Amino acid sequence: MRKRQLALVTVFSFTALVSLIMATGSFTAYAYSNRVMPRVLIAGEKIGGQGIAEASMQIQQRIASLREAPILLNLDGKLTTVTLKELGITPSVTKTVQEKLKSHSSFDWLKFNYWKEFFSPVEGGLAYSINKTTLRQKLEHKFNIRTIARNATLRAVDGRLQVIDGRDGRTLDVTQLNAGIDNLLRTGSALPIALDFVKVTPDVSVSDAKEAKAKIEKTLLPIYLKFEQQNFSITPQDQYGMLDFKVKGEKLRWSASTSSISSYLYSNVAISLNISMRQRTILAAKNNKVTDKGSEGREVQLAALAEEVARTITEHTDTKNSPIQIATRTIPVTDYIITPGYIAGLWKGLYLDINLTQQRIYILDGKNLLASYLISSGKPGTPTPIGQFKIVNKASLAESSLFPGIWMQMWNGLARLDSGLVEGYGIHRIPCFNASCTLKEDASHLGTPVSHGCIRVQDDGADWIFAHASVGTKVNIHI
């Protein structure tokens, strides 16, 4: 009887203990179903026991703090500091939560590892990604050091292919920096980091370039071209200057450059075949009389020819028995219609017609043009007035009333034709800076409006007008 009671007590106790453990486990699992395990540290900061949302916010704040934390770098005794922000590194809250803060199912508490994680300290780092090339470039800029490895290549010099030596480069080994960043984002502490250089060898060595040179010299053939009865040829030596060299797949590759080919063809082929078109000249003032019939032009179709030559080089085509035919296009004749810049027959007898757009003065006798000369009229700030005028006074030498010290030879003063109003404008030679006219303004400005409103005429024209256009001669000024 007593043994039976003892057995019942034992069974009851065991059942009670199991029930208690299961209840405790279930309760604990329920309580931490959406929480971080109690002893978790992220980047040296305790976030255990917090809800996921609260932990995410704390991680975000930790990231902001660590991005500004100075990291001491040492390169050959040269010290400097850098931050994660300067290096362009931003840890991810989302990835950190996904990778470091595991979610648990309702029955995970039945597993041994669940309770191991529950009671053991768990130190996790912030999740981040890094581009080593970008990181290296930022450090090189920070220290202002970089020696780029230079590939050996080929260059055309005086009709020969010349091997250009390459050289080793050097850059920074970022292995220790990566380890330092890992440590900072795991512990929250930035330790000094010693950097070192690493040699960078070129992709293309001198032997590679020599191999490419030998292959090109063996491959290229003379290229023959033909236009009607004229023959042209492009030697392999000429073709060397038409090649571009690039590194691809750690090999020196070459290709035909259409721009270089076009330049060669223009200088050595097109110039001798091209013919300029001559325009048909038509005089509008003479009932469209044709004074020159003109002639068609001819032009080598350079772009198409360059493409054909490039293809021939690339495909190693033998053109000795089947030369490339040079295509040309005909340039049709266009008309050059000469329209007079003057108004003929405006008045009977001698008068002057001034075209401000053309910067010319025309001397007419009724409908007949006697002569024309270059002028310089008023500049934008002091424009020459437009309208019809007449010559009202003359002087072989006159001093400007507005600009004393400026002298004008062969002066012809103007007044409005309808009202007789004198506005101070006239027609004269290029101005002088003294009364003896030993100092004169340069004649190079003729054809450009630079005067203060008067009409400056080249000297021989001004002399003719002064001698032959008497007082009362009419003047028409227009654009």
Alpha carbons within 13 A on the beta-carbon side of 127:
11
The burial of 176, by beta-carbon neighbours within 10 Å (0-12 exposed, 13-18 middle, 19 or more buried), is given as middle
The Cα–Cα gap between 10 and 8 comes to: 5
The Cα–Cα gap between 431 and 452 comes to: 11
Which residue is listed with tokens 């990604």? 129
The Cα–Cα gap between 184 and 66 comes to: 8
Q: Please say whether the dihedral angle defined by the alpha carbons of residues 310, 311, 314 and 318, taken in this order, is positive or negative.
A: negative
Residue 215: which H helix or E strand, with range?
Answer: helix 206-219
The Cα–Cα gap between 352 and 86 comes to: 76
Amino acid found at 58: Q
User: Are the CB atoms for 55 and 43 separated by under 8 Å?
Assistant: no
Residue 156 C-alpha from the chain's centroid: 28
Which residue is listed with tokens 């005028």? 389
Which residue is listed with tokens 């021939």? 312
Rounded alpha-carbon distances, angstroms, from residue 325 to 226, 262, 417: 5, 16, 69
User: Are the CB atoms for 64 and 84 separated by under 8 Å?
Assistant: no
What value does the CA radius of gyration of the chain take, rounded to a whole number of Å?
A: 47
Q: Count other Cβ atoms within 10 Å, centred on residue 110.
A: 13
Give the active site residues. Answer: 428, 454
Which residue is listed with tokens 């330790």? 191
The strand pair at 455-457 and 368-376 is best described as antiparallel
The Cα–Cα gap between 37 and 57 comes to: 16
Q: Is 151 helix (H, G, I), strand (E, B) or coil?
A: coil
145-166 burial: b if 16+ Cβ within 10 Å, else e: eeeebebbbbebeeeebebeeb
Helix axes 52-67, 93-100, angle to 10 degrees: 130
Of 473, 479, 464, nearest in space to 410 by CA? 464
The Cα–Cα gap between 58 and 45 comes to: 9
